[in-house]
Amino acid sequence: MKTTSYISRQVENLKPSGIRRFFDLAAQMDDVISLGVGEPDFVTPWNFIEQSFHALEQGYTSYTENAGMIELREEISNYLSGSFQLDYDPNEQLVVTVGASQAIDLALRTVVEPGDEVIVVEPSFVAYVPIVSLAGGTPVTIQTKAEDDFKLKPEQVKEAITPKTKAIMLCNPNNPTGTFLNKEELQQLAKVIEKNDLLVLSDEIYAELTYDDNYTSFPSIEKMKERTILISGFSKAFAMTGWRLGYAAGPADIIAAMVKIHQYTMMCAPTMAQHAALEAMKNGRQSVQEMTESYKQRRNFIVSSLNEIGLSCPNPGGAFYAFPSIKETGLSSAEFAEQLLQEEQVAVVPGEVFGSGGEGYVRCSYATSIKQLDEAMERMKRFVEKRL
Ligand code: PMP
């Protein structure tokens, strides 16, 4: 029996993630250095793991409240106020989710109606455009430019707005460019957002991983909290990708609506992961600081190495990605990534997979040891020299 015709048109039309294809290729090869994956090389700090064990030993193996354990929501609320001067009621304004991924999905499904336009700033995290489409909305993309250090300009937002625009997705620091927007830049964006009455989905999963400037959380900007759904999680700064834990904070009515979908589709985030996250919130500060310091050293190393090789790369202010130009080599980003993998066994992600403005660049994740990075840069140098 041929079952393809049973697949919904909406899902049939989704493109598979361009990142996966590269991992599958790399997985079949030996001695590959991967700068491909967007995840920490650190193992989750031991005290987080231990608390999860203890919880299991004590029999905490049941569902939690739909919105997540209240103790965890209280700790997240304390963390958001201590770190970002944000005040969220743990009972009404927070929901614990299965990764930031589920928070994005819930937020979009909660607010988007057929015909609504949602602005996505590209190059962007690969999930935004497909999730907007799955929610029934129309993604409208803005292309940030290398000459602006990939910073989103308020005029660009103005130009993208139509009577159908409902929301804008922001990601600061950005994946894949590592671009960091400071307080003044966010304030300028906020003016356009307020004037046009947009809702904001602010993905701040890399908020802890900034290296040069103080971080400003978007909802902490005047008048923005009432129109922002803050999305974050434990995967990146806390080295907890596999635990699948994130959260959303926002206006009580929107969070309650998100919890309605969550209770039917997920019930709750995994209980043992919530216990580990509780420990991360209570006693994770030092681990986060140590990992952040290490990423900063690696950022400095990879950015200066890429520029020396002749791949021009602005200094990314956050996350753990460098996004160098490969235009000088005359290759497309897919050709560059494929040939680099075949010839030198280094995996990077072609910029084209991150949407408009990504062609001509590759994403290099530097969440790997300096030793590995050093070797990867030697190999890339050899590869590039043959083409310049
Ligand atoms: N947002 C961004 C910008 C990301 O880069 C990622 C992971 N690559 C996510 C969300 C999803 O993270 P999680 O593991 O919490 O689902």
Q: What is the ipTM of this complex?
A: 0.99
Site to substitute for ligand 1 among 98, 104, 175, most atoms within 8 A of C-beta: 175
pLDDT value at residue 27: 82
Q: Using one digit for the tens of pLDDT, what is the confidence trace for 7-40?
A: 999 899 888 877 777 777 788 888 999 999 899 9
Give CA–CA dist 229/204, Å, rounded.
Answer: 10
Residue burial 5-23, b: 16+ Cβ < 10 Å; e: rest:
eeeeeeeeeeeeebbebbe
Q: Which CATH number fits domain 46-283: 1.20.1070.10, 3.40.640.10, 3.40.50.10310, 2.30.130.10?
A: 3.40.640.10
Say if residues 99 and 39 touch (Cβ distance below 8 Å): no
For ligand 1, say whether the CB of 179 is within 6 Å of any of its atoms. Answer: no
Q: Where are the domains of the chain?
A: 4-44+287-385, 46-283
Site to substitute for ligand 1 among 106, 124, 125, 349, most atoms within 8 A of C-beta: 125
Q: Whose CA is nearest to atom 8 of ligand 1?
A: 38
**Coil, strand, or helix at residue 160?**
helix
For ligand 1, say whether the CB of 208 is within 6 Å of any of its atoms. Answer: no
Give me the residues of the chain with pLDDT under 50, please: none
pLDDT value at residue 256: 98
How many Cα atoms occupy the beta-carbon half-sphere of 130 within 13 Å? 14
Residues 25/31/32/37 CA torsion (nearest 10 deg): 100
**Coil, strand, or helix at residue 138?**
strand
> C-alpha distances in angstroms, 198 versus 166, 226, 228, 234?
6, 11, 9, 27
pLDDT value at residue 30: 85
Site to substitute for ligand 1 among 201, 234, 236, 240, most atoms within 8 A of C-beta: 236
pTM exceeds 0.95: yes
Burial of 166: CB neighbours in 10 Å, binned 0-12, 13-18, 19+: middle
For ligand 1, say whether the CB of 99 is within 6 Å of any of its atoms. Answer: yes
Give CA–CA dist 206/172, Å, rounded.
Answer: 7
Structure-block tokens of residue 58? 């004590």
Q: Using one digit for the tens of pLDDT, what is the confidence trace for 174-219?
A: 999 999 999 999 999 999 999 999 999 999 999 999 999 999 999 9
Q: Which fold has domain 4-44+287-385?
A: Aspartate Aminotransferase, domain 1 (3.90.1150)
Rg (CA), the chain: 21
pLDDT value at residue 283: 97
Phi, psi (degrees; rounded to nearest 5) at 265: -100, -25
Phi, psi (degrees; rounded to nearest 5) at 276: -65, -40
Q: Which atom of ligand 1 is nearest to the CA of 38?
A: 8
Give CA–CA dist 282/144, Å, rounded.
Answer: 37
CA–centroid distance, residue 388 to ligand 1 (Å): 35
pLDDT value at residue 104: 98
Computed from CA positions of residues 383, 385, 387, 388, in that sequence, does the dihedral angle turn out positive or negative? positive
